[in-house]
């Protein structure tokens, strides 16, 4: 849902940026539109200017603009926001226009844009247009190319979009804190020629990392590496919407987290067709199933969608977990039944965990600290998904109508195309010469002998 509210009714309160801006631009600010929810907004076709295929920002939205003398005007408001990471957990972040990430800015190659930035944070800020080619004085590096935008003031940026691609915006003013607090957004410049790299569906997401102590709401801004929530568009599994497709797909991914993310898509071979540096010539592309996205990089991958339910996730396995303890004792293979009974005398609600692995975490519903998601959770058509963080599902259906982004439900697998339990006879498994299975510590479930356990 969107609600419109006017900021700074008095144009006289606007403070000009260092660059000259025409007087007519300052007659009034465009409305700053804010959102309160974390649902995915359907793609919004441009109300003016050249047509393009709009992107779908997963669990996000696209900023509206108005045309003034042929210039597309946007209004970003930097402000504290409450962002739902997944049902059951909210974070107190800083963002733009009511959410983190901020609204995706979409425009067309050759457009001139004018972006008003109102600072409603408790401290100064600035906006750097990451990857865009623009005059140095519009680059948004506070102290270097412009003064900081003080709290309560509005600056305006104006530049021409010289090349198409997918970019980002984020502060360059107390940058460590403001990035850790969630201040970022996507900036998509569509090609002027609509036949250039067309896509039927175009999804956009920003990778970010947060360190929110279980039981609290605000990220710890000084954390360098030890994050516990790995997000797409400030959402974590099971809060990330599924990607729905019929045919043809482009996914644009930017990484503003503090580490690289090898993004892996099941069931497809894709190509990186665009980076924030520009289009990748066909001759230079590698077929891939995983693309590693470095810090501060943007990658657009394209593929022809194949019917099915396909996992899409960061391949760092700890990045598909929610907050968890990394220093806890490893009890895999440690029998603790009798010890657990004794511990229960001291701690009545104690339950032994970890002896058989951690899968029980994904199956059991146990009371957790306030505002804390299970480290692994989620349920699919066949049971517990045991995931968290950077994980979602690409749902491709032959019958999905163009432009229909509604969830088609779980995939119905054609007969004979689904893995199933085998209960027939088995040939003896071949083992490496000299290998003896460690039956003492590994509970081997022998086929055809279910009672032996």
329 near other proteins (CB under 8 A): yes
Segment 424 to 453, residues that bind other proteins, using CB under 8 A: 441
Closest to 192 (Cα-Cα) out of 43, 49, 47: 49
In the set 12, 47, 287, 327, which binds other proteins (CB under 8 A)? 327
Closest to 358 (Cα-Cα) out of 335, 386, 380: 386
| Cα atoms in the 13 Å half-sphere on the side-chain side of 316 | 15
The residue whose two tokens read 């511990």 is 343
The residue whose two tokens read 């107390």 is 174
Which residues in 224-314 belong to E strands, given as ranges?
A: 229-232, 243-245, 249-255, 261-265, 270-275, 278-279, 287-288, 290-293, 298-303, 308-314
Q: Binding pattern to other proteins, positions 306-325, x when CB under 8 A?
A: -----------------xxx
Of 71 and 368, nearer to other proteins (C-beta) is: 368
List 88's β-bridge partners, or say none.
none
DSSP state of 146: B
Sign of the CA dihedral 385, 391, 395, 401?
positive
In the set 3, 283, 330, 417, which binds other proteins (CB under 8 A)? 330
342 near other proteins (CB under 8 A): yes
Task: Candidates 26-34, 161-169, 245-253, 333-341: pick the segment binding other proteins (CB under 8 A).
Answer: 333-341
387 near other proteins (CB under 8 A): no
Segment 349 to 378, residues that bind other proteins, using CB under 8 A: 349-354, 358, 361, 366-369, 372, 374-375
- Min separation Cβ 349 and other proteins, Å: 6
Dihedral-angle region of residue 427 (phi above 0 means left; psi in -120 to 50 means alpha; beta otherwise): beta
Phi and psi angles of residue 337, each rounded to the nearest 5 degrees, phi first: -60, -50
Contacts with other proteins: how many residues (CB under 8 A)?
37
- Min separation Cβ 365 and other proteins, Å: 10
In the set 53, 145, 260, 336, which binds other proteins (CB under 8 A)? 336
- Min separation Cβ 351 and other proteins, Å: 8
Which residues in this chain contact other proteins in the complex, by CB under 8 A? 214-215, 323-325, 327-336, 339, 342-343, 345-347, 349-354, 358, 361, 366-369, 372, 374-375, 441
């Amino acid at each position: 849902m969107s609600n419109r509210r006017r900021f700074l009714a008095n144009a006289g309160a606007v403070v000009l940026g260092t660059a000259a801006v025409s007087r007519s631009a300052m007659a009034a600010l465009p409305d700053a539109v804010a959102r309160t929810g974390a649902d995915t907004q359907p793609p919004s076709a441009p109300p003016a200017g050249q047509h393009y295929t709009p992107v779908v920002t997963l669990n996000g939205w696209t900023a509206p603009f108005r045309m003034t003398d042929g210039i597309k005007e946007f209004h970003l408001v930097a402000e504290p926001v409450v962002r739902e990471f997944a049902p059951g957990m909210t974070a107190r972040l800083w963002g733009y226009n009511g959410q983190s990430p901020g609204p995706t800015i979409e425009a067309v190659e050759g457009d001139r844009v004018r972006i008003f930035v109102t600072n409603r944070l408790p401290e100064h800020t600035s906006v750097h247009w990451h990857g865009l080619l623009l005059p140095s004085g519009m680059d948004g590096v506070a102290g270097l190319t412009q003064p900081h935008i003080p709290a309560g003031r509005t600056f305006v940026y104006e530049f021409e979009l010289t090349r198409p691609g997918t970019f980002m915006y984020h502060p360059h003013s107390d940058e460590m804190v403001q990035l850790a607090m969630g201040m970022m957004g996507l900036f998509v410049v569509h090609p002027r020629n609509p036949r250039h790299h067309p896509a039927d569906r175009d999804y956009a997401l920003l990778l970010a990392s947060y360190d929110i102590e279980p039981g609290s709401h605000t990220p710890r801004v000084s954390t360098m590496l030890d994050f516990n929530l790995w997000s797409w568009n400030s959402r974590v599994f099971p809060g990330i919407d599924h990607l729905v497709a019929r045919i043809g797909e482009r996914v644009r991914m930017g990484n503003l987290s503090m580490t690289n993310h090898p993004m892996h898509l099941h069931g497809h071979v894709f190509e990186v067709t665009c980076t924030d540096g520009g289009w990748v010539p066909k001759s230079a592309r590698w077929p891939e199933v995983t693309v590693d996205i470095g810090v501060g990089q943007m990658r657009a991958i394209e593929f022809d969608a194949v019917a099915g339910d396909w996992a899409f996730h960061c391949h760092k396995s700890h990045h598909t977990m929610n907050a968890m303890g990394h220093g806890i004792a490893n009890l895999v293979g440690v029998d603790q039944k009798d010890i657990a009974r004794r511990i229960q005398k001291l701690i009545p609600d104690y339950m032994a965990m970890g002896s058989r692995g951690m899968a029980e975490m994904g199956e059991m519903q146990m009371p957790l600290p306030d505002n804390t998601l299970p480290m692994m959770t989620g349920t699919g058509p066949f049971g517990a998904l045991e995931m968290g963080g950077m994980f979602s599902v690409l749902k491709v259906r032959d019958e999905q109508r163009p432009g229909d982004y509604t969830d088609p439900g779980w995939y119905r697998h054609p007969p004979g195309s689904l893995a199933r339990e085998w209960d027939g006879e088995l040939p003896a498994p071949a083992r490496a010469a000299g290998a003896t299975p460690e039956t003492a510590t590994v509970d081997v479930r022998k086929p055809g002998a279910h009672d032996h356990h």
